[in-house]
């Protein structure tokens, strides 16, 4: 495990999966249909239990300019700056359950932000994902 510091809040727009985990692929595909690929744009998966509805998953992309979310008719949220505990999963497509295993390991840590998301940050140039959860500071 490692510590990742997000120096600034990250504004993202998102597509909510209809179910978890079955609806993740559809949400990711819908999100990617909304913009042209750019190595500069950060891509995320955000999940957490909400409103007694079980785990809600959001496929999210960093907003590159003001008003972009409205243009593609998506809601936004902020990934808050701060200190995150993290595990990097390489070649995640070879074993998609490795992401689940990483989050189970992270969720066993103390001092997690009770309002935080399980955040997947996808690398733009490799098949790696950084799995992270914000610490309660």
| CATH code where residue 101 lies | 3.20.80.10
Residue 85 β-bridge partners = 3, 133
Q: How many domains does the chain have?
A: 1
Considering the entire predicted model, what is its pTM? 0.92
16/60 Cα distance (integer angstroms) = 9
12/52 Cα distance (integer angstroms) = 24
Q: Which domain holds residue 128?
A: 2-134
Q: How many Cβ atoms from other residues are within 10 Å of residue 125's Cβ? A: 6
* Distant-in-sequence, close-in-space partners of 128: CB < 8 Å, separation ≥ 6: 88, 89, 90, 91, 92, 122
Output the tens digit of pLDDT for each of the chain's 137 residues. Answer: 899 999 999 999 999 999 999 999 999 999 999 998 888 999 999 999 998 888 999 999 999 999 999 999 999 999 999 999 999 999 988 888 899 999 999 999 989 999 999 999 998 878 899 999 999 97
């Amino acid at each position: 495990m490692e510590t990742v510091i997000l120096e600034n809040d990250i504004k993202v727009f998102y597509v909510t999966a209809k179910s978890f985990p079955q609806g993740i692929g559809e949400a990711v595909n819908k999100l990617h249909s909304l913009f042209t690929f750019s190595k500069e744009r950060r891509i995320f998966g955000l999940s957490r239990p909400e409103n007694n509805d079980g785990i809600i998953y959001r496929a999210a992309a960093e907003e590159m300019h003001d008003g972009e979310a409205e243009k593609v008719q998506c809601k936004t949220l902020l990934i808050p700056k701060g200190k995150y505990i993290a595990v990097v999963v390489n070649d995640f497509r070879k074993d998609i359950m490795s992401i689940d295993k990483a989050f189970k390991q992270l969720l066993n840590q103390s001092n997690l932000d009770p309002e935080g998301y399980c955040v997947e940050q996808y690398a733009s140039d490799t098949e790696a994902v950084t799995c992270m959860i914000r610490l309660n500071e």
